[in-house]
Structure 1
Amino acid sequence: MNLPSPSYDFLTSTLQNLPPETPEWSLANGATARWHERGILELIPSQLNDATDRVLVSCGVHGNETAPIEVANGILLDIQQGHLPLAAHVLLMFGNPEAMQAGERYLDYDMNRLFNGQHAKHPATREAQRAALLEQEAAAFFERAPAGCRRLHYDLHTAIRGSVFERFAIYPYLHERDYNREQLCWLESADITTVLLHSQPAATFTYYTSRHHQADSLTLELGKARPFGENDLSRFAGIDQALRRLLSGRREPLPPFANERFQLFRAKYDLVKHSDAFRLHLHDQVENFTLLEDGFVIAEDQDVRYQAQGGNERILFPNPKVGNGLRAGIVIEPVTI
């Protein structure tokens, strides 16, 4: 049986649904690759111990957000060919291969609303079945991790909508846990200094791994969504270099956390679309993090009225086309920690 060559392209094989001829093979520098399922590959360093970082890198949860997929695949190719040493235990996931192949955000249902058990409510959808599988794989990966290691999960995205801050992170709700300031400083090293601190549970992949596996999990929004081959990957150099440093074990010293170097926000409340009468009073191309003038009526829905207060609130993820009962946007406000 032939082993995959150093030029084996995991992205191409995922899109074409072609599993490798053998599920496990050797990489450069003594590392090992282990294929799990379509779009799921484990990378095991030659030196593995209880202090080795366990890092889950996921992208393509929305199939049309291609730049992070290309970034991750480029890092993988360099590990395979020996250009980048591997010092972390990694699980790489291309979240929604069928949607990636179709060039669509999703096929049946938004996958990033189907984690934390929500997939059980939509069992007939392809995304629900895949979300359940990703949860199982993430659980197996983190449950094998020793108590003393760092558990990290970065879920990489891009967006169709523009943003006042081109790159930003979403820190899932932590319940009783505190924010990891070292992780915030790591974000800064990736050219990400805008962070939304979520204030309630969610059905996202990072909330699931944070809540159930105590991972330091972050959703990263890295720029504009474009088709495969049309991305200017120079705009993603920050996250590319930060991941390369992390996975190769280059723990460069980071400056102490300071609030003034970041734009931190918390989710104040959701705009909920209760009925077909919902009207969002923002233009279609409004950017994420747009400042809302004090007194501005953001949206109305029958007898419900959402009105901006204070002049320092901003809008995030406005989308009036969601189904009734779902979130049509988030109103956020600045915060310090």
Structure 2
Amino acid sequence: MTSSAEHGMLGDFLAFTLAGERPAPEHREGIGANGARWTWLDDGVLQFEPATVVGNTRSVLASAGIHGDETAPIELLSKLVRDIAHGDAVLTCRLLVILGNVDAMREACRYRDDDLNRLFSGRHEQVPHSYEAPRAAALERAAIAFFDRASSETGARWHIDMHTAIRASAFEQFALLPHTGKPLSRVMFEWLGDARISAVLLHTTKGNTYSHFTAQRCGAEACTLELGKVRPFGQNDLTRFAGADAALRRLLAGSGDMVDGSAMPRVFTVIDQITKQSDAFELHVAADVPNFTPFAKGTVLATDGDYRYVVNRDEERIVFPNATVKPGLRAGLMVVETTQETQALLV
């Protein structure tokens, strides 16, 4: 039997979370359709266990809302929770659903004090008074607890962290893979192709994102997905993200079936970053320049006192340009295409 509390929470996990509701202790776990057991763990954190768990059962962390204004993937995850609970989506995996910066979601802002996706891998300890610091620590603990009970077989641990970009992009839907020093996974690239992701950005240094934390600390196949543009809740055309949604559902179903003809994404590797050093910083690109816009050799992209960023290769592309970040933070990534050499190294 399902309780009314279960219907309300699982039927619309987003609305339940935004309302600040917390289920009574006796309603924090239950069994949904097809025998999937669910457990409410924390504000915006819900775990599912399939009816049958074997030694190599896949474990998938699906997160969204690490930035509170990135609403489309949050809505996708809420619908996924509903469909699993009602038996309309097959679940053969362990699944942890996380809605990240819940307070920022409620206030329709990106974050309160600090970018939550820069506070993982312990960096939250450097800003103990930040509004976001306790949430970063809580999400680290949730991932560790989830993956500590996961199979350690290759390909058994996954983290799909879904975002939307602030600006337009030459590739509307793209992925970022964290740098761990390990060989790149062909299975991940094939899944990204199945998800209709057209480009992949490879980091070359360690970061403080949630996907880097789960890749490095928890051994997960982890990626950050950028699925279009920021819009208010209720104003998203979710059909634009049907490819990623369907691929995630196939991953959770364990079907192993990918859509025929899905092309591997193009690959771009970070070669440098533009850093805002002071309030004198100027970014010499249009305010609405799309991600992955190419610039020719010799172009001056940024100045900050004596600092200048000049394109020194035949073509470099800019990703995530943002002149409004705090001094000391990244104001843009510079990338070059490395498709052929990267695909040759996949294992």
Q: TM-score range by the shorter chain?
A: over 0.9
Deviation at 1:309, TM superposition (A): 2.1
Q: How does 1:217-256 map to 2 (within 5 A)?
A: 217-252=222-257
In structure 1, runs of 5+ residues without a counterpart are none
Matched position secondary structure for 2:78: helix
Three-state SS of the structure 2 residue aligned to 1:236 is helix
Q: Which residue of 1 aligns with 2:119?
A: 114
Distance in 2 (CA, whole Å) between partners of 1:287 and 1:88 is: 37
2:288 partner amino acid: Q
Give me the TM-score of the superposition, normalised by structure 2: 0.93
Quote the offset at 1:257 in angstroms.
Answer: 10
2:58 aligns with 53
Distance in 2 separating the partners of 1:253 and 1:74: 21
1:160 aligns with 2:166: yes
2:327 corresponds to 1:321: no
Instruction: Report the counterpart of residue 290 of structure 2 in structure 1.
Output: 287
Deviation at 1:146, TM superposition (A): 2.2
Amino acid at match of 1:265: F
For residues 1-337 of structure 1, the aligned pairs below 5 Å read: 2=3, 4-5=6-7, 8-21=11-24, 22-148=27-153, 150-175=156-181, 177-252=182-257, 261-335=264-338, 336-337=341-342
**Cα distance in 2 between the residues matched to 1:255 and 1:67:** 26
Which whole-Å CA distance do the structure 2 matches of 1:220 and 1:70 have between them?
15
CA positional deviation for 1:276? 1.9
Distance 1:271 1:99 in 2: 27
- TM score, norm. by length of structure 1: 0.95
Kindly provide the CA deviation profile for residues 245-304 of structure 1, in whole angstroms up to 9, marking residues without a partner as x: 11122111578998xx43211110110111222111101111100001211001111111
Q: Deviations over 1:317-336 (max 9, x none)?
A: 11111111111111111113
CA RMSD of aligned residues (A): 1.8
Cα shift at 1:190:
0.6
- Distance change in 2, residues 1:181/1:257 (3 Å): farther
Question: How far did 1:8 drift?
Answer: 3.1
- The letter of the residue matching 2:196 is D
Task: State the SS of the aligned residue for 1:313.
Answer: strand
Q: Post-superposition shift, 1:171? A: 0.4
Q: Distance in 2 between matches of 1:307 and 1:270?
A: 11
- Residues 45-101 of structure 1: CA deviation (Å, up to 9, x unaligned): 001111111000010000000000111111111111111121110000000111111
Residue type matched to 2:277 in 1? H
Give the counterpart letter for 2:159 in structure 1: H
Letter in 1 for 2:323: P
Distance 1:147 1:187 in 2: 22
The 2-side partners of 1:232 and 1:253 are apart by 23
3-state DSSP class of the match of 2:114? coil
Amino acid at match of 1:325: G
Asked if the contact 2:194/2:262 (under 8 Å) is kept, the reply is no
The whole-number CA distance in structure 2 between the counterparts of 1:214 and 1:257 is 27
Query: C-alpha distance in 2, partners of 1:326/1:109?
Result: 11
Query: Does 319-328 or 55-64 show the bigger shift?
Result: 319-328
Distance 1:249 1:267 in 2: 33
C-alpha change, 1:257 and 1:12, in structure 2 (3 Å) is closer
Q: Take 2:158 and 2:28, find their aligned partners in 1: how far apart are those partners?
A: 25
Q: Deviations over 1:129-161 (max 9, x none)?
A: 101000000001111112226100010000121
The one-letter code of the counterpart of 2:52 is: Q
In 2, Cα distance between equivalents of 1:13 and 1:29: 23
Contact 2:17 2:43 in 1 (8 A): yes
One-letter amino acid of the counterpart of residue 239, structure 1: A
Task: Report the count of equivalent residues.
Answer: 334
Alpha-carbon distance in structure 1 between the residues aligned to 2:261 and 2:107: 44
Matched residue of 2:217: which SS? Answer: helix
| Rounded Cα–Cα distance in structure 2 between residues aligned with 1:253 and 1:298 | 41
244-253 or 131-140, which moves further after superposition?
A: 244-253
